[in-house]
Every structure is written in structure tokens, then in C-alpha cells.
Amino acid sequence: MKKTALVLVVLIFIGGCGTRATKLTDQVYQPVGKDHKIEIFYNKEPGRPYEQIAVLEKEAAWAFTGSGAVLEGLKDKARKLGGDAIILHSVHESNYWDVGGKREASASGVVIKYK
């Protein structure tokens, strides 16, 4: 029984931490390396031409998760899509306490590729 409960908790954790991507173009870009800096724009446009690649959404709920970890997840996905930056639309973080406490964070934005 304990093993089943542990497996369920792990599956919930893994399932709740994925990054959803909705492609906005048929164009496929080469993924970029982990050292590629992804710029973040908070509800503003970059000052140069770009193409929108995908809308990203990420949610996470775990004792050690915060908005910083969620933003890193968005950056990782942007790199896989070949992006250069993310225009964030929302970032949300909340804390609430039940048995052991819990922290939730979510973010969404658009991955862009500079022209």
C-alpha cells in the first residue's frame, strides 16, 4: 500500500510539472544549447523584428517549487523549440498550507525567434 501511494505521488508530481507548448507556426527551428541565453520580456515587445513560435504554459506544485523554477522550465522548452526569447503574459505563485505545506507556481508566454 505504501509503495502504491509513493508511486501515485511521484506520478502526480511528474504530471504536474510539464510544460505545454502550442505551436504557432509550421516552421521548425533547430534546438539551441543550454548556454543559449533566453531573454525574458514581461508584457512588452522586444525592440526588434521577431516571429512567434509557440505559446508555453507551465504549472508546478511541490514543496520546493517557486516561480523561478517554472521560468527555468519555460526557458528550457524555448531552447528545445529554437527560440531566442519569451514574452511573458503571466507569472503566478501562491503558498498555502495543508499537511506539510504546499507551494504552487505557474507561468505562460510566447516563445519568439528573432528575424
What are the tens digits of pLDDT across the range 100-113?
666 788 899 999 99
What element of type H or E holds 64? none
Say how far residue 65 (Cα) sits from the centre of its chain: 12
pTM across the whole model:
0.76
pLDDT bucket at 92, cuts 50 / 70 / 90: confident
Q: Which domains does the chain have, with CATH numbers?
A: 2-114 (3.30.110.70)
CB of 34 closer than 8 Å to CB of 80: no
pLDDT bucket at 97, cuts 50 / 70 / 90: low
pLDDT score recorded for residue 100: 61
Size of the chain, expressed as the number of residues it contains: 115
Q: 3-state DSSP helix/strand/coil percent for the chain, to nearest 5?
A: 25, 40, 35
pLDDT tens-place string over residues 50-86: 999 999 998 877 655 567 888 999 999 999 999 999 9
